[in-house]
Amino acid sequence: MSSEHVVTPDEAGARADVLVARLSGAARSLVTDAVKRGAVRVNGHAVKASHPLDAGDRLAYEITPRKPLEALPEAIDVPILYEDDDLLVVDKPAGMVTHPAHGATSGTLVNALLAHIGTLPGDPLRPGLVHRLDRDTSGLMVVAKTPVALSALGIAMKARRIKREYLGLIHGVPDHLRGTIDGPIGRDPHNRLKYAIVAGGKPAITHYEVLEIFPNAAELLFALETGRTHQIRVHMAAMGHAIVNDPLYGREDPRSGLPGQALHAWRLSFAHPRTEREMIFEVDPPPGYLHAKRLLAGLD
């Protein structure tokens, strides 16, 4: 979609990206893509998204729709801790996106699983997924291989019968060695890339326990009652104890060698959807997490 527009007096002062989004009806992400390509021009010159417009400016733009997303098999090694006819449990590496999305259309866990299994039930972009982990969070995930298993595990997740525990490194030390954070989570009204504790957000409950204390830092065990996006990261940042090396809710530490936040899903337990046998899995944190822990302890 390409178009031209002469800025009216009423539109003067608006940002270029805001007016293009308003005129085109396109999503802001598509407008951002157009700006990066140099496809938003004022008086013949490519401009930044924040460029202020004057009355009489000739605004030209070309919006290119994104290709439809699809999940395709890719031969990627992912550690599999358990597999049967109904499900499998994997140890997702830090740095791996869980499923395809704009900005990460390949190299995801789903791409790897499709190559390993062939087909999975459910949403074509999120097949077999019962839950997800942030890109830079490592650790355990259960994946359903049949529609019956996906339905049963989905019901168990909503009923909070799937137990997930995480290890995380935080800045500072909480005043209490054990506690519960009960704060509803929704989009941050000031930054659409982030989430925050907000009135009217979805219920979110995180239990924590301090496992080890370091100078100006600590390792915590987290147990989730709910599974909101970025839940642990949001709750800890709200406490003033952001996860170590969290670029979105805290600050990066180049020494850590981690791709992102020092957070690891180390324990997972649930009833098998067919046999009802209790399944319990644990996996140690990856070397990057352990290195960051040693740095905090002053051992590296």
- Does pLDDT of 264 surpass 90? yes
Mean pLDDT of 231-251: 96
| Contact criterion met (CB below 8 Å) for 106 and 100 | yes
Structure tokens, 222 = 């987290």
Runs of H (alpha helix) within the chain:
16-24, 28-36, 109-117, 147-158, 231-239, 287-297
Q: How far apart are CA 113 and CA 73, in angstroms?
A: 7
Edge to edge, the sheet with strand 58-62 lists: 2-6, 58-62, 40-42, 45-46
Mean pLDDT of 211-229: 95
Reported as a pLDDT band with limits 50, 70 and 90, residue 1 is: low
Query: What pLDDT does 69 receive?
Result: 76
Classify residue 208 by burial, with Cβ atoms within 10 Å: 0-12, 13-18, 19+: buried
- Does pLDDT of 190 surpass 90? no
Averaged pLDDT of the chain: 94
Q: Please give the positions annotated as active site.
A: 134
Q: Pick from 259, 245, 236, 222: which is nearest to 295 by CA?
A: 245
pLDDT in tens, 150-170: 999 999 999 999 999 999 999
- Does pLDDT of 144 surpass 70? yes
Pairing of strands 163-171, 178-182: unpaired
Mean pLDDT of 256-265: 93
Query: What pLDDT does 25 receive?
Result: 87
Mean pLDDT of 204-219: 97
Q: How far is CA 171 from CA 2, 94, 177, 220, 251, in A?
A: 48, 20, 14, 11, 10
Mean pLDDT of 182-200: 93
Rg of the chain over all Cα atoms, to the nearest angstrom = 23
Structure letter (DSSP) for residue 29: H
pLDDT in tens, 53-103: 999 999 999 998 877 778 889 999 999 999 999 999 999 999 999 998 877
| Contact criterion met (CB below 8 Å) for 267 and 165 | yes
Structure tokens, 135 = 């890109």
Residues in Cβ contact with 193 at an 8 Å cutoff, skipping those fewer than 6 apart: 248
- Does pLDDT of 45 surpass 80? yes
Q: Where are the domains of the chain?
A: 2-62, 80-297
| CATH, domain range 2-62 | 3.10.290.10
Mean pLDDT of 216-242: 96
Query: What pLDDT does 49 receive?
Result: 92
pLDDT in tens, 283-296: 999 999 999 999 99
Give 80-297's CATH code, choosing from 3.90.550.10, 2.40.240.10, 3.30.2350.10, 3.60.15.10.
3.30.2350.10
DSSP 241-287: -PBTT-TTTS---GGG--SS--EEEEEEEEE-TTT--EEEEE-PPPH
